[in-house]
Amino acid sequence: MTDRREEILERLVALVAAIPNIRWAQRNNPDIPDDQLPAASVFDGDEESNGDIDIGSSRPPNRPYVVRMTPEIIIAEQSNEVGSDLATLRVELIKRVLNDAALLATVGTNGNIRYLGCQTDLGWGRSLQGALQAQFTFKYPLKIEEL
Amino acid sequence: MTDYGAVLFDPVYAELGVPAVMGTTEITVIDNIRAKPLAIVTSTGAAEVRSMGPSAFARVYELVAKGIARSTWLGATLAFNGKTWAVRSYELRGSPNGEDAGEVLFLLKEAAAS
């Protein structure tokens, strides 16, 4: 049994946890304590399939699908140099996701990984805090016989 | 006119105030550190960093009397209740007797991160 979606999400958590200086990495946790920064949280992404392209055809419902999942990764940090710190963490995040052999193997030769972009936000807590929200799209086959 | 410093601020500071050191000068402040969820993240609101906003009230007329000029407030260290902070900004809270007879709310950050 193989659930590529779950494999990708689990691998993303492992990747962000290994980014240098990240002290706290979790999945789908929206509450980040400020004494654990820099921290990262991976949020399960929306998924779309190509299921509607042949809805009027006689192809069986268990045909192979191609799906695209777009998880979000949030990295938060606090320091007087929070902009530079986030820039460094962003570089590490992008490099690790796009070059990861395990992720590339999971999406397969017909799949792909794309970095879509990021948004940032700032605020004051006990010091200057910043957060970066990055999106990646993973295109991979959904084979019913694998599930 | 009523001296609001004498009848309002001074009794409050006598009850709620704590000893503080601004730079090297001893003053009295009201510790206003508040726990609050600080929503700093994302247009989708997917995550929040739980944080707190350190701040302290002081009487402007006490600062003036002790020679702490307004031009020195920003960046000054402020130590109270076992922590040392740095003033990152401030809000003047005047009184009916005028701006210099009221309070100032110092917005603080960790001094170690300055």
What CA–CA distances, in Å, run from A74 to A40, A138, B47, B58? Answer: 5, 17, 8, 38
User: What chain B residue is nearest to A45 in terms of C-alpha separation?
Assistant: B46
Given a cut of 80, whether residue B38 has pLDDT beyond it is: no
Q: Which CATH architecture has domain A4-48+69-146?
A: 2-Layer Sandwich (3.30)
A130 inside 8 A of chain B by CB: yes
Start-to-end CA distance of chain B, whole Å, equals 43
Q: Where are the domains of chain A?
A: 4-48+69-146
Whole-prediction pTM value? 0.85
User: Could you read off the pLDDT of A55-70 as tens digits, one per residue?
Assistant: 888 888 999 999 999 9
A107 inside 8 A of chain B by CB: no
> Which range, of A68-72, B22-26, B29-33, B49-53, averages the lowest pLDDT?
B49-53
pLDDT class of B49 with cuts at 50, 70, 90: confident
Cα A35–Cα A10–Cα A117 angle in degrees, nearest 5: 75
Interface test with A, best of B49, B50, B81, B91 (most A CBs within 10 A): B49
Whether residues A34 and B49 touch (CB distance < 8 A) is answered with yes
State the ipTM, two decimals.
0.75
Distance from CA of A106 to the nearest CA of B (A): 26
Given a cut of 60, whether residue B64 has pLDDT beyond it is: yes
What CA–CA distances, in Å, run from A6 to A19, A57, A96, A106? Answer: 21, 30, 18, 10
Reading across the β-sheet that carries A39-49, which strands appear in turn?
A: A24-27, A39-49, A65-78, A128-142, A112-124
Distance separating alpha carbons of residues A100 and A33, to the nearest angstrom: 29
Distance separating alpha carbons of residues A40 and A90, to the nearest angstrom: 11
User: What chain B residue is nearest to A36 in terms of C-alpha separation?
Assistant: B49
A119 vs B contacts (CB less than 8 Å): 42-43
A123 inside 8 A of chain B by CB: yes
